[in-house]
Every structure is written in C-alpha cells, then in structure tokens.
C-alpha cells in the first residue's frame, strides 16, 4: 500500500487509518521555528460518517486508500443544424470507493 507524508495531504484525499477509509475534509499546520511542525486534520470516516480530529507529525507516513479508477468515454456532437457531423470524444477518469 502506498504511503505519503502529511505535507503531501490534499483535501478530499482518502487515507487508511486503523484499517478503515477516512477522507481529509480540513487541515492546517502549527508550529514555530523552535518546534516541529504538526498537521492538524479533520477526517470523515467513509463508512460511518463520523468526524475525527487528528494531529500528524511532519515525518509520519500514512497509508493511502487503494481506490479503483474507471475510465468513461463520452461522445459529444454538435447540434443537428450545424454543417457536417463532427464528433468529439472525451475520456473522463474517476475514482470511487466501494465498501
């Protein structure tokens, strides 16, 4: 399982804590020049919906949740009144969590 440092956290990132998935809802850092910086996070448990506050040290490694990704191909066409029938395709990649 891939691990990351707290400095690499982003909002809506899914982490595995104590064997269950949590999503990062909010975060901020604290610390001074004399003390080590800490990252204060507000996490939501994905299966129960509960909010928890947790503080991470700057050198603590945290596992990321393995999210399956799926690609979706969409065909878009111009309106029928337009000359010619040019079609564009766009691929959208998204992730979803299945419990």
Give residue for tokens 């448990």: 45
Q: Which three-class secondary structure state does DSSP give residue 7?
A: helix
> Exposure of 62 by Cβ count < 10 A (0-12 exposed, 13-18 middle, 19+ buried)?
buried
pLDDT number for residue 50: 95
Q: What beta strand segments (E) does 46-96 contain? A: 51-57, 62-63, 69-77, 87-95
pLDDT number for residue 1: 78
d(CA 24, CA 83): 48
Its pTM stands at 0.66
3-63: CATH topology is SH3 type barrels. (2.30.30)
pLDDT number for residue 77: 59
pLDDT truncated to tens, each residue of the chain (99 aa)?
799 999 999 999 999 999 999 999 999 999 888 888 899 999 999 999 999 999 999 999 999 988 766 666 666 655 544 555 555 666 665 555 554
């Amino acid at each position: 399982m891939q691990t990351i440092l707290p400095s690499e956290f982003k909002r809506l990132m899914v982490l595995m804590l104590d064997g269950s998935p949590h999503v990062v809802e909010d975060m901020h850092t604290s610390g001074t020049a004399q003390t080590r910086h800490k990252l204060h996070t507000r996490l939501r448990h994905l299966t129960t919906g509960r909010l928890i506050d947790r503080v991470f040290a700057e050198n603590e490694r945290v596992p990321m949740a393995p999210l399956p990704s799926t690609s979706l191909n969409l065909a878009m066409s111009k309106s029928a009144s337009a000359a010619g029938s040019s079609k564009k395709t766009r691929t959208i990649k998204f992730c979803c969590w299945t419990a």
